[in-house]
Amino acid sequence: MMFHRLYNAKEGIKEHLIEFAYVYAPLFGLMVFALLTNYVKVDFDKEFKSNMINISGVLAGFLFTSIGIMLTLPNNKFTQTLNSIGYMKIIFRAMIIGIFALLISMLLGLFNVCSTAYSIFFVIGISETFLSAYYLYKVSYYSGKSK
């Protein structure tokens, strides 16, 4: 009886983490960024801003392309199941948040508004990009095997 409760609690936590992965991934990225900048004292060179602006544009383009790929997946049993359980919404939310964060980071960097703000948006965007790349791989892999 106790084993079933522990198992159910573990599965409930797992489902929650999957459902809100687009929130937890940037939080994890921001924690790592804060640790690196405050405790490890990682200093960024003079070229960081221009590199961050370029990388933000490239990653935003990758996420736009990923959305296009997700929209053109075959309408098979696998993708229908993902739509019905709401998994596709989670994937699209991660991609949209990543695009907006990267575009905001790029604009803040271009206009030199606030170095802390564009760094934070960049970390959020890159976290969502990693999450989206993982989702894109898994969905396209299993969608190709489904009939």
**Domain limits at 44?**
2-145
Give the pTM: 0.88
Q: At what angle do helices 115-145 and 87-110 cross, to 10 degrees?
A: 150
Per-residue confidence band for 20, with pLDDT thresholds at 50, 70 and 90: very high
pLDDT tens, residue by residue, 72-95? 888 888 888 888 988 899 999 999
109 contacts: CB under 8 Å, gap ≥ 6: 49, 50, 52, 53, 56, 118, 122
Question: Given this model, what pLDDT does residue 3 score?
Answer: 74
Question: Tokens representing 17?
Answer: 């983490």
Domain count, the chain: 1
pLDDT confidence band for 1 (50 / 70 / 90): low
